[in-house]
C-alpha cells in the first residue's frame, strides 16, 4: 500500500523596513499609539492619491536578486478587492499579472532547492484589536510595504518549511531590508497544503492563513496533514478552503467571510503608472548585493578554519559575523575569537535583538588586542579569560583592564627572573629532577605560577625551566 505524502507551498509576507510607507510619507515603525501613523492615503480616504515609494521597489528588487529571480524592469500595481474592516478602502494595492520578480530559488542547508515562483510588492492592512468585547481598528500598519514571496509546491515536510523560513529570514536580514521579527508580525506565512498517495494524482489543497511563529506553522501543518489523511482514508473529499490555525486548540478551522480568488476582481491600479525600474538600476543593485549567508558560511569555514557548527552560529546575524571577522583577522588561531564570541560574549546578551545588534562592551578591536597578547604568550589563557570578563562588565580597554587589575603581562625578562628564583629556592626538587624524576618539575612550575599570580604562560615557563635545569646539570 502506498504511503500518503504531503505537498506544500508557501506564501511569505515580509514587511520592508523602509523609512516611510508604500504610498505616503507616514513613518514605518512597529507599535506606537494606535492611529497616529496614518493619513488620508493609507486610510483610503476618497480622493486621496498614492505615490509609489521607490525605496520599497529597490528593496523588493534586492530580495529578488538575492533569490536568483529575474527582476522585471516593468511591473504593475493592481487592485485586489475585498471587504474587511482592517482595509478601509476595500481594496489592497498589490501586484497581480505583472509582478516585479519571477523564477528564483533558495537552497536549503540539506542541499534541496526550493523554487521561487514570484515576488510581488503590496501594501499591508491595519490591525484589529479585540478589547473587552469590542473590536477596535489600528491603521498604523496600513500601507506598510510588504513583499510576498511565493514558492513552488516543493515542500514535503514541516521541517523543510522551517529550514526555508530560517534561511529566508537570514537572507532578508543580510540584505537589511527587513528585521523579519515573527513575533512582531514582520514575517507571516500562508501554507498551501495537499495530501496524496505517492504515485497518484495530486490532492485538493487547503490554505492555512497568516501564521507568525515557526512552532505554530509546524503544528498547523502536522494537524492539517493528519486531518486530510484521515478524510482520504475514509474516502471523503478534501474541500478546497481557507483555514485559520487556532493556537489554543492546535486545530485548523475554516475562515468565515472569505471570498474565492475569482472574486478579487483584480484590475490595474488606475492611480499609479506602471512600475519602471531601469536595467542599469537593476545592475547597480546587483553590484551592491552583500555577501549572502551561504557564501559567508563557506568562506568562514575555509578562511578561518572554523568547524561548520561554529560558523553557522556566527553567520546567523550579520553583525555577529562582522564582529568575529574584525576580532579574528590576522590571528594564528582565529578559533579563539569564535570561542570568545560564542561563549562569554554571547552570554552577556539578554535576548535575540541584543545578539543581532552585537554591541558588547568589549569592542572587536579590543578583543583582537587581547587575543594578540594571548598568542604572543604575554598572557596566560586563564588571565585572558578573566580580563575579557572584566572588559565585558566594565567596558574598559585591554590596557586599562590589565593595568587596573595589576594583571600586566609578564615580560620575558620577568618570567626568566621568576624561573631562576624558583630554581634557586627549590634545591630538593631540582635534585630530584636531575636524578631523572621528571615530575619534580611540576613543583617548581607551580611555584612560578603562584609567584606570578597566574600571569605566567605555563608552556613557556616549562620550556624556560627545562632549559635552566638541563644547563645547570652540565
Site string for Zn ion, 431-460 (x = CB under 5 A): ------------------------------
SS3 162: helix
Q: Which residue has the cell 486545530?
A: 251
Q: How many CB atoms lie within 10 A of CB 88?
A: 16
Structure letter (DSSP) for residue 362: S
Shortest CA distance to 316 belongs to which of 361, 360, 358, 366?
A: 358
Q: Which residues are within 8 A (CB) of 45 and not within 5 positions of it... i.e. 6 or more apart?
A: 88
Site string for Zn ion, 304-333 (x = CB under 5 A): ------------------------------
Q: Is the dihedral of CA 11, 175, 61, 154 positive or negative?
A: negative
Pick from Zn ion, Mn ion, none: which does 321 bind, CB < 5 to 8 A by kind?
A: none
Kindly tell me which of 8 and 28 has the beta carbon lying closer to Zn ion: 28
Kindly tell me which of 26 and 146 has the beta carbon lying closer to Mn ion: 146
In the bound complex, what is the minimum distance in angstroms from residue 93's beta carbon to Mn ion? 11
Kindly tell me which of 42 and 464 has the beta carbon lying closer to Zn ion: 42
Task: By CB under 5 A, tell whether 108 contacts Zn ion.
Answer: no
In the bound complex, what is the minimum distance in angstroms from residue 112's beta carbon to Zn ion? 41
In the bound complex, what is the minimum distance in angstroms from residue 395's beta carbon to Mn ion? 45
Pick from Zn ion, Mn ion, none: which does 100 bind, CB < 5 to 8 A by kind?
A: none
In the bound complex, what is the minimum distance in angstroms from residue 100's beta carbon to Mn ion? 14
Q: Do 252 and 31 contact (CB within 8 A), yes or no?
A: no
Q: Which residues are within 8 A (CB) of 47 and not within 5 positions of it... i.e. 6 or more apart?
A: 40
Give the span between the Cα atoms of 49 and 10, in whole angstroms: 32
Q: Which residue has the cell 519602471?
A: 276
Kindly tell me which of 148 and 366 has the beta carbon lying closer to Mn ion: 148
In the bound complex, what is the minimum distance in angstroms from residue 241's beta carbon to Mn ion? 18
Kindly tell me which of 26 and 71 has the beta carbon lying closer to Zn ion: 26
Give the span between the Cα atoms of 325 and 235, in whole angstroms: 59
In the bound complex, what is the minimum distance in angstroms from residue 82's beta carbon to Zn ion? 20
Q: Which stretch binds Zn ion (CB under 5 A): 20-28, 277-285, 291-299, 344-352?
A: 20-28
In the bound complex, what is the minimum distance in angstroms from residue 94's beta carbon to Mn ion? 6
In the bound complex, what is the minimum distance in angstroms from residue 27's beta carbon to Zn ion? 9
Q: Which residue has the cell 490532492?
A: 203
Pick from Zn ion, Mn ion, none: which does 42 bind, CB < 5 to 8 A by kind?
A: Zn ion
Give the span between the Cα atoms of 127 and 144, in whole angstroms: 12
Strand-pair category, 206-211 with 242-246:
parallel
Kindly tell me which of 89 and 420 has the beta carbon lying closer to Zn ion: 89
**Of residues 21-40, which lie at the interface with Zn ion (CB under 5 A)?**
24, 26, 39
Q: Which residue has the cell 474565492?
A: 260
Which helix (DSSP H) or strand (DSSP E) does residue 293 occupy?
A: helix 293-304
Pick from Mn ion, Zn ion, none: which does 301 bind, CB < 5 to 8 A by kind?
A: none
Q: How many CB atoms lie within 10 A of CB 444?
A: 23
Kindly tell me which of 12 and 167 has the beta carbon lying closer to Mn ion: 12
Binding site for Mn ion (CB under 5 A): 148
In the bound complex, what is the minimum distance in angstroms from residue 122's beta carbon to Mn ion? 5
Q: Exposure pattern of 184-202 as b/e (b: 16+ CB <10 Å)? A: ebbbbbbbbbbbbeeeeee
Q: Which residue has the cell 530580495?
A: 63
Characterise 228 by phi-psi region: left (phi > 0), alpha (psi -120 to 50), beta (else).
alpha
Kindly tell me which of 26 and 430 has the beta carbon lying closer to Zn ion: 26
In the bound complex, what is the minimum distance in angstroms from residue 193's beta carbon to Mn ion? 17
Kindly tell me which of 22 and 456 has the beta carbon lying closer to Mn ion: 22
Question: Nearest 5 degrees, angle CA 200-CA 201-CA 207?
Answer: 125
**Of residues 42-81, which lie at the interface with Zn ion (CB under 5 A)?**
42
Give the span between the Cα atoms of 381 and 336, in whole angstroms: 10
Pick from Zn ion, Mn ion, none: which does 148 bind, CB < 5 to 8 A by kind?
A: Mn ion
Kindly tell me which of 44 and 334 has the beta carbon lying closer to Zn ion: 44
Nearest-CB residue for Mn ion: 148
The phi, psi pair for 471, rounded to 5°, reads: -75, -35
Residues making contact with Zn ion (CB under 5 A): 24, 26, 39, 41-42
Amino acid at each position: 500500500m502506498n504511503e500518503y505524502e504531503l505537498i506544500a507551498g508557501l506564501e511569505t509576507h515580509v514587511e520592508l523596513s523602509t523609512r516611510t510607507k508604500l504610498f505616503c510619507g507616514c513613518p514605518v515603525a512597529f507599535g506606537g499609539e494606535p492611529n497616529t501613523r496614518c493619513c488620508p492615503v493609507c486610510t483610503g480616504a476618497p480622493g486621496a492619491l498614492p505615490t509609489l515609494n521607490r525605496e520599497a521597489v529597490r528593496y523588493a528588487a534586492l530580495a529578488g536578486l538575492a533569490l536568483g529571480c529575474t527582476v522585471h524592469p516593468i511591473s504593475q500595481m493592481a487592485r485586489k478587492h475585498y471587504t474587511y474592516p482592517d482595509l478601509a478602502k476595500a481594496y489592497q494595492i498589490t501586484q497581480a499579472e505583472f509582478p516585479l520578480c519571477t523564477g528564483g530559488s533558495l537552497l536549503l542547508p540539506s542541499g534541496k532547492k526550493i523554487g521561487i515562483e514570484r515576488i510581488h510588492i503590496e501594501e499591508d492592512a491595519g490591525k484589529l484589536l479585540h478589547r473587552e468585547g469590542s473590536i477596535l481598528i489600528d491603521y498604523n500598519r496600513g500601507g506598510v510595504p510588504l513583499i510576498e514571496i511565493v514558492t513552488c509546491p516543493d515542500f514535503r515536510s514541516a521541517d523543510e518549511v522551517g529550514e526555508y523560513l530560517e534561511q529566508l529570514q537570514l537572507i532578508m536580514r543580510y540584505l537589511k531590508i527587513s528585521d523579519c521579527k515573527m513575533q512582531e508580525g514582520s514575517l507571516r506565512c500562508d501554507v498551501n497544503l495537499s495530501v496524496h498517495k505517492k504515485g497518484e494524482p495530486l490532492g485538493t489543497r487547503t490554505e492555512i492563513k497568516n501564521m507568525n511563529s515557526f512552532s505554530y506553522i509546524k503544528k498547523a501543518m502536522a494537524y492539517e496533514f493528519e486531518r486530510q489523511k484521515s478524510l482520504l482514508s475514509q474516502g471523503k473529499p478534501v474541500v478546497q478552503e481557507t483555514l485559520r490555525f487556532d493556537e489554543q486548540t492546535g486545530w485548523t478551522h475554516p475562515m468565515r467571510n472569505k471570498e474565492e480568488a475569482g472574486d478579487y476582481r483584480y484590475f490595474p491600479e488606475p492611480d499609479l503608472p506602471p512600475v519602471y525600474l531601469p536595467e542599469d538600476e537593476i545592475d547597480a543593485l546587483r553590484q551592491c548585493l552583500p555577501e549572502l549567508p551561504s557564501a559567508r558560511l563557506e568562506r568562514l569555514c575555509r578562511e578561518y578554519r572554523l568547524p561548520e557548527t561554529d560558523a553557522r552560529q556566527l553567520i546567523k546575524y550579520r553583525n555577529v559575523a562582522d564582529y568575529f571577522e574584525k576580532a579574528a583577522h590576522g590571528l594564528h588561531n582565529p578559533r579563539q575569537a569564535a570561542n570568545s564570541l560564542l561563549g562569554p560574549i554571547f552570554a552577556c546578551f539578554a535576548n535575540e535583538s541584543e545578539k543581532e545588534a552585537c554591541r558588547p562592551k568589549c569592542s572587536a578591536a579590543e578583543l583582537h588586542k587581547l587575543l594578540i597578547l594571548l598568542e604572543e604568550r604575554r598572557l596566560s589563557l586563564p588571565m585572558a579569560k578573566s580580563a575579557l570578563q572584566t572588559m565585558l562588565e566594565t567596558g574598559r580597554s585591554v590596557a586599562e583592564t590589565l593595568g587596573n587589575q595589576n594583571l600586566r603581562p609578564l615580560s620575558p625578562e620577568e618570567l626568566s627572573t621568576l624561573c631562576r628564583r624558583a630554581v634557586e629556592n627549590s634545591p630538593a626538587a631540582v635534585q630530584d629532577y636531575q636524578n631523572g624524576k621528571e615530575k619534580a618539575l611540576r613543583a617548581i612550575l607551580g611555584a612560578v605560577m603562584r609567584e606570578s599570580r597566574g600571569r605566567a604562560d605555563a608552556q613557556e615557563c616549562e620550556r624556560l625551566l627545562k632549559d635552566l635545569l638541563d644547563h645547570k646539570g652540565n
